[in-house]
Amino acid sequence: MFGGGGSSAAAEYTLGWAAVEGKAWADEDVKRMRVALVHDWLTGMRGGERCLEVFCELFPDATLFTLVRVPGAVSSRIEGMRVETSVLNRFPGIARYYRAFLPLFPFAVERFNLEGYDLILSSSHCVAKGVRVPPGALHACYIFTPMRYVWDLYDDYFGPGRAGLPARGLMALLRRRFQRWDAATATRVHHFVAISRHVAGRVRRHYGREASVIYPPVDTARFRVGDGPGEFYLAVSAFAPYKRLDLAIEACNTLRRPLKIVGRGPDERKLRTLAGPTVEFLGPRSDEEIATLYARCRALLFPGLEDFGIVPLEAMASGRPAIAYGRGGARETVIPLRMLTGPGTAAAADTGGSKTASRAPTGILFAEQTVESLVAAMEEFEANRTCFEPKALRDHALGFDRAVFKDRVASFVAERWVEHAGGRG
């Protein structure tokens, strides 16, 4: 078993190590292995932190390195790790304004001292994958996306009207430098594992590297299948520009449909000005409250271009379909009711990574990121609502369950470690 710890971790590592059973050095070598986990920051419990939580279970004796830590902001499993923070964590007000320190992130992550560690497992959507790796160590990166701020979504963050003039001016000067650093530090990673084929394509495009794909976990045990047709549409999201919650709000304004929105973020004031009388902002909610909302909703609205998107699968685990923009990660999780047509889209969803046997529809994909396209999708859903079977929806979500993720990560790391250890002789 990797890293020792509780019986659950030991059991999962037995599963993972079975893929390379028979290697003479396996058990004893792994027990002696020193592991470093590297994560961009610990300021809240979102999809990335759900993945990190599993890494912490698999490696309970690891040291966790992160740029910024807000005590109490993540789960007890992560809080219980031995955590090393960067020099940025000492700055006054860093917990609230850490995003403003983006220009210093590469400097800070490169100052982590990983000497003596055998395995580095980074989980990165910003700079974590750029840590300096000591000679002889193995570095595997679970990548949520290459730095979206400087690559594909630069205009969404720093385009006109998206940020203040000083921030836009600074990033205009720094963008090319960030891109060069991000591409150059990809060579510090031995193996990339992407959260979706969509992200694997970005890794290939920006880094010139191939990436394996292991889909993020959905804790399906948290959710129960709801009864009845549902009372309202639901959006569960950070209030960031690329999430396009404005489309969900304006579509529900147009159709006069009730919409409940869970979350918070920098775009909240702007979104509230768009909301009509049928739209309700609920703010952040606990896991239990969100599970209840999924079970009570009519369908989930998911209008952003996402790298993967755990939220639609959480809705499906509750027996509720998703109405999602038909590009990016949604094409790998949503089985559409019909063929999808429109600029820049393919004919149907690509859900080949799920091990579920069901091919029943799990949602509606709309082709264009416009209010009109989303309104048409919602009307199509209302006209075909009985086509979505709650049991089939949940069965599909089970193919992405947390236990599936945990076993695949364990197997992948075990196999790569055997190759690495064999290469070192």
What number of other Cβ atoms are within 10 A of residue 45's Cβ? 16
| Average predicted confidence (pLDDT) for the chain | 87
Sketch out the chain's domains with CATH numbers. Answer: 7-217+403-423 (3.40.50), 220-400 (3.40.50.2000)
Judged against a pLDDT cut of 80, whether residue 91 lies above it is answered with yes
Q: Which helix (H) or strand (E) holds 27?
A: helix 26-32
| Residue 282 backbone dihedrals phi, psi, to 5 degrees | -100, -10
Token pair of 221 as six digits: 């045990």
Q: Could you tell me the CA-to-CA distances from 31 to 8, 221, 358 in Å, in that order? A: 16, 31, 40
pLDDT (tens digit per residue) in 160-202: 666 667 777 777 778 889 889 999 999 999 999 999 999 999 9
- DSSP-assigned states of every residue in 160-205: TTTS-HHHHHHHHHHHHHHHHHHHHHGGG-SEEEESSHHHHHHHHH
Three-class secondary structure of residue 425 per DSSP: coil
Residue 391's closest CA among 314, 295, 316, 297?
316
| pLDDT bucket at 423, cuts 50 / 70 / 90 | low
Distance CA 419, CA 415 (A): 6
Mean pLDDT, range 358-371, rounded to an integer: 91
Percent of the chain scoring above 90 in pLDDT: 70
pLDDT digits (tens, 9 = 90+) for 51-70: 999 999 999 999 999 999 99
What lies within 8 Å, CB to CB, of 192 at 6+ separation is: 140, 141, 143, 186, 200, 203, 207, 209, 210, 211, 212
- Residue 355 pLDDT: 47
Q: How far apart are CA 313 and CA 247, in angstroms?
A: 20
pLDDT tens column, 259-293: 999 999 889 999 999 999 999 999 999 999 999 99
